[in-house]
Amino acid sequence: MYLWRKRANPDWVRNRSGELIRRFGSALAIIERAKKARSLLEIATTKKQGCDLVREFGGTIKKLRADWLQHFAKQSRAKPLRIGSRLIVSRSADSKDKRAIVIPAEAAFGTGEHATTAMCLQMLERVTRRPDNGWTMLDAGTGSGILAIAGSRFGAKRVFAIDHDPLACSTAQRNARTNRARNIEFRTGDVLKQKPGAKFDVITANLFSEILIAALPIWARHLARDGCLILSGVLRSQESALVAALRRNGFGARQIKRRGKWIALLASRTRKSS
C-alpha cells in the first residue's frame, strides 16, 4: 500500500475536496492543526493511483511498511476521549471501564480525535439523555462506525449506518463486533441514493458540506417529526451556506459548536414544517 500526501492552503482544500471525496471517499483524510495555515491531505492508495494523484494534484507518494497500521497505532499515544459522563473512546482494548468503546487507529476512518467527530459525539450524548430505549438513528458516512457505535451505547434500539466505501464498512463492522454493538445494520452505498425505508429520531453525518446540503431534502423525508440532525465536517467559512440550506428544507439550527476551523451543528424541524 502507498500513501499520497499533499499540504495545501484552505482555498485549495475548499475547491478540490469535493472532487477528492467523490473519488476516494473515506480513504481521504484532511488533517488540520491549530495555528497551522495549511492542511495535510492523505489518501491510502495503490502505487498507480498515487502516481496519478501526483501528476494531477502534486504532492508526494511513499510506500508504507508492511506493518504500517500496527506501527502507526504503537506510535500514537492519544489519551482516551471522554464524552460527558457516559462514554469514553479509547484506542486500546485494555480499558476496563464499562463506559469505554474501542476504536483502533485506522487510516482515515475516524477515531474520535478530530474536532468534527468529537463535537458530533458530544451533541449525540446530550440529545440522547432520555429514559426510554425506543429511539432510532441513521449514521450517514459512518467511516469507522464510531457515531453508530456510540448511538448504540447511548440506547438506540436500531442504528442504520451507510458508507460508500466497502473498506470503511468492513472496518465499522469489525469495530461494532469488538464493542458488542449488535443492533447496527451496516450498508455500502451512496448516502444520496440510499432509501432506508424508515424514519429516524436522530440522523448524524460527518461529511463534506456539499454532500450535507445535497442530502438535506432526503433526510427531511426520513427524520421523525421530533427528530434532530447532527451535522459536521463543515468549515467555519461554509457555516452560512449550510444554515441557509437548512432553512430551505424546513430546519432550524438549535446549536452550533465551533472548534478551530470546524463547526458542528444540531438542527431540528421548524414549527412551520412540522
Tell whether the torsion through CA atoms of 192, 196, 198 and 204 is positive or negative: negative
Give me the residues paired with residue 229 across strands. Answer: 203, 267
Residue 252: φ, ψ to 5°: -130, 145
Q: What is the pLDDT of residues 107-143, one digit of tens each?
A: 445 556 688 999 999 999 999 987 576 899 999 999 8
Q: What is the pTM of this model?
A: 0.73
Least confident of 72-76, 77-81, 134-138, 176-180: 72-76
Contact of 108 with 44, CB cutoff 8 Å: yes
pLDDT for the residue numbered 48: 92
Q: What is the pLDDT of residues 17-48, one digit of tens each?
A: 888 888 887 678 877 665 567 888 888 888 89
Q: Which residue has the higher pLDDT, 124 or 78?
A: 124
Quick: pLDDT tens for 137-163. Answer: 999 999 889 999 999 999 999 999 999
The answer on pLDDT for 71 being more than 60 is no
Predicted pLDDT at 94: 62
pLDDT at 260 over 50: yes
Q: What pLDDT does 140 receive?
A: 96
Q: How many residues does the chain have?
A: 274
